[in-house]
Amino acid sequence: MGGKSPANFNEEQQDEPYDVRRLHAARKQSAIMSMFDGLEPGQTFSVILDFDPGRLMRQCEASFAGDLVWVCLEIGPPEWLIEIGKRETAR
């Protein structure tokens, strides 16, 4: 079984986005990073953010390099909807 392209990557997406707006500002990034760590290859999750995700995206790219799939579904302000996933590894 090969890897999925970003176009069909959301087949295994969770139904409801995780709303980090309710978290304290200091916990938002760590919550998202933790959720990514819990993904299996090919899985995704969506998050609703109340801050520009540029810095978070750069930090995720630096930490997760080739494993990260990042798709901005809604561009804010006031909120952003981001789909984050872990690429399947080639077999």
For residue 85, pLDDT beyond 70: yes
Strand duo 80-86 + 68-74: pairing: antiparallel
Strand partners, 39: none
pLDDT in tens, 9-56: 444 445 789 999 999 988 999 999 999 999 999 999 999 999 999 999
Residue 64 in any domain: the answer is yes
Residue 91 in any domain: the answer is no
pTM value is 0.77
Domain hosting residue 69, numbered range: 6-86
Residue 59: in which H helix or E strand, if any? helix 54-64
Of 32, 41, 36, residue with least CA distance to 3? 41
The enclosing domain of 45 has a CATH number of 3.30.110
Report the pLDDT value the prediction gives residue 73, as an integer from 0 to 100. 96
Number of domains in the chain: 1
Residue 52 in any domain: the answer is yes
Residue 1 in any domain: the answer is no
